[in-house]
Amino acid sequence: MRRYQLGSALILLIFGLLVSYEATKLVIGKIGKPGPGFFPFWLGVALIIVSFCLLIKFSRSKGDPSLPSKSIWQGVYWGKIVFSLIALFLYAFFLESLGYTIATFLLMFFLFRATGTQRWLTAIGGSVITSLFTYSLFRLWLQVQLPKGLWGL
């Protein structure tokens, strides 16, 4: 078992335990009438189960000790990661002033086009669909307040 596999499973386990523990400080409720801690609690339990499954999987897998171990960071495109993080920070910064729909469109367009390999038409179409779908889901169906921005969109 490689150390990073064990480490990632243990971090996932600790995070799941922490989330479940903190959720117990809220009202969990029942499936018919969930409280504010219901989803965090059960998501934490799901993380714990996944981490145990990973630990079992990693403990059963046998790597060939004669093969050199590859670095987990080999082949990572750091530029895309940095640009994506900058885009997310800018999204959070401009969300109130631009509004949810426009800011989400711009973020998705950037992610589709700049960090992915999507063509212009696919990037624009995917951005429009994502913005409108998530707006419809959160604002119209779930009735969540979303920032309207300067133009009220």
pLDDT for position 63: 58
pLDDT for position 70: 64
How far is residue 102's CA from residue 95's CA, in Å, rounded to a whole number?
Answer: 8
pLDDT for position 72: 61
Contact 12, 50 (CB under 8 A): yes
Domain boundaries, the chain: 3-60, 78-141
Question: What residues pair up with 34 in beta bridges, in sequence order?
Answer: 29
- Has this prediction a pTM greater than 0.95? no
pLDDT for position 65: 52
pLDDT of the chain, 153 residues: tens digit per residue: 467 778 888 899 999 999 999 999 988 888 888 888 888 899 999 999 999 998 888 777 765 554 555 666 677 777 888 898 999 999 999 999 999 999 999 999 999 988 777 888 999 999 999 999 999 998 888 888 888 877 766
* Side-chain half-sphere exposure of 113, counting CA atoms within 13 A: 16
Q: How many CB atoms lie within 10 A of CB 83?
A: 15
